[in-house]
Structure 1
Amino acid sequence: AGSAARLSPLPCSKELYPVGLHTEGDGVQRPKVVAQYLIEQLELAGIRKIFVSLRRGKEDIMTYFGDGASLGVDIAYLVTTIPYGAPYTIDRAYQFVKEDIVALGFPDILFESGAAFSAVLRRQGQRQADVVLGLFPADRPDKCDMVDVDGSGVVRQIVIKQQESPLPWTWGIAVWSPSFTRYMHDYLKDHLQRGASAPELFVGDVIRAAIDDGLRVEAIPVSDSPFIDIGTPEDLARAIDRYTHLHDT
């Protein structure tokens, strides 16, 4: 969970901002916060064990979701203090997941494909790829990782945050095997030893390095619509508008 500097000031972590509604067991509609969408999509794919890696100051997320029982999952929380990017945040869970298949989602990204994680998990199981990415149409190449994928679904390259790109796809979720978990852990140790600093390291940087080092990375489309990253006021307004209308219809 990131720092949301572009949305400041907010009364809560951006992942807890209400976007849309949900109906609880008593039949009453209540506000639905951004991160709940991701948790429900993970649960729908049969993923019950969830690690949430937090920066200091984001403890309201832990207070809000607790152990996850109300959503049918088990949530554990980890605090990260290394400020050099999302890969370090993810690697905080290394000792707990290093022998497991890992599914990655971002709690500040909204998308509407409920079967996305199931599709990516299935592809990884079928092809035994080191990493499988879930692809979305890209409407803002300057804000995301563009994915160059061949006709068989093998990723040739990751292009990170360029102003323009002819590539149609970006990735928003991922599933990977222990081989990539170990690769990222070792990559980050080396990155720190070389003096990690700005610019921020992205997950796409690590995936790109893994491709160059011979790991097999594949990708499949999981949605016909672009995801929304609520990291700016404009995109948060888009999310509120879209998800309010979903509940109005």
Structure 2
Amino acid sequence: MKASDVVGLIPAAGLGSRLSPLPCSKELFPVGFAPHPEHGEPHPKAVSQYLLEHMQRAGAGQVYVILRKGKWDIPDYFGDGSQLGLQLAYLIMQKPYGSPFSLDQAYTFVRGQRVVFGFPDILFEPEDAFEQLLQRQEQTGADVVLGCFKVPHPHKWDMVEVGEGGEVKNILHKPAVSNLTYGWAIASWGPRFTEFMHQHLQQVEEQFHTSGKELSVGEVVQAAILKGLRVQGVYFDTGNCLDVGTPEDLLKAIHTLS
């Protein structure tokens, strides 16, 4: 797979209120250690570096990071991405109505390309997870492929209802109670979904502008399912994911990786 075939998208415009106060953007909070790129000795590893490495392994040569104004420590830390074998570009969020609106900031740059998407504060395994999503997309022609993991607390996740052959039938946005076992954490998608999301956001923007609520990526994927787009799931029964955006889960990650 050539690097030019795939681009990465990362929303990094959140306030990090669940971990507030922090001395840095939550995407840079150190979790675990990695060899220093120059002298090889272990040094602290920013939590979002794990996601960037996943994207690089999947062939994403270019990654777009969408920032909120003021989070300049992120480009200051990662620079142009060359130390990770990536080309990083930074865009500024204009519409504070949730991650889909942040992602749409990159629309003119990613339209027509295959996208790998993840949240910078979610750690996951296996290492080839994105590659598996892209392979499923090629095999099935799906518009979207979700990476799904067994999660213990459905109310914290967008839960996935599975149909035959890996088809995703429904996505429930953080249900208070659910007997579903899989939540999705990462995704890949093609141009048809990029176009759908762009058009859908134009249609619903006003209601989020007036309500003050935020739209989730999972809710946009659910809208796409209702419009007939094909959504598949890859289910990582032996993998795991951890949202380190809360103090208790951040503590788990630190204990696991340090």
Counterpart in the other structure of 1:130: 143
**Which segments of 5 or more consecutive residues in structure 2 lack a partner in the other structure?**
1-11
TM-score (structure 1 length as normaliser)? 0.94
Identity, % of aligned positions: 48
- Measured after TM superposition, the shift of residue 164 of structure 1 is 2.1
CA contact (8 A) 2:208 2:214 kept: no
Counterpart in the other structure of 1:79: 92
CA contact (8 A) 2:146 2:233 kept: yes
Q: For the structure 1 residues 237 and 96, does the alpha-carbon distance in structure 2 shift closer, same or farther, using more than 3 Å as the test?
A: same
> Counterpart amino acid of 1:206?
V
Q: Which deviations, in whole Å up to 9, do the C-alpha atoms of 1:218-239 show, x marking residues without a partner?
A: 1011352441111111111111
Output the CA distance in 1 between the equivalents of 2:164 and 2:229.
Answer: 18
> Counterpart amino acid of 1:39?
L
Counterpart in the other structure of 2:32: 20
> Counterpart amino acid of 1:43?
Q
Counterpart in the other structure of 1:91: 104
Q: Which deviations, in whole Å up to 9, do the C-alpha atoms of 1:61-107 show, x marking residues without a partner?
A: 01000000001000000000211100001111000001101110111
- Measured after TM superposition, the shift of residue 163 of structure 1 is 2.2
For 1:68, which of 55, 76, 81 is the aligned residue? 81
For 2:173, which of 142, 148, 160 is the aligned residue? 160
- Measured after TM superposition, the shift of residue 123 of structure 1 is 0.6
For 2:214, which of 200, 216, 231 is the aligned residue? 200
CA contact (8 A) 1:228 1:239 kept: yes
For 1:102, which of 115, 134, 145 is the aligned residue? 115
For 1:187, which of 179, 200, 224 is the aligned residue? 200
Counterpart in the other structure of 1:3: 15
Output the CA distance in 2 between the equivalents of 1:101 and 1:236.
Answer: 31
Matched position secondary structure for 1:93:
helix
CA contact (8 A) 2:161 2:170 kept: yes
> Counterpart amino acid of 1:218?
Q
Counterpart in the other structure of 2:235: 221
Counterpart in the other structure of 1:176: 189
The answer to whether structure 1 residue 235 and structure 2 residue 249 are counterparts is yes
- Measured after TM superposition, the shift of residue 57 of structure 1 is 1.9
Matched position secondary structure for 2:164:
coil
Output the CA distance in 2 between the equivalents of 1:92 and 1:56.
Answer: 14
> Counterpart amino acid of 1:217?
V
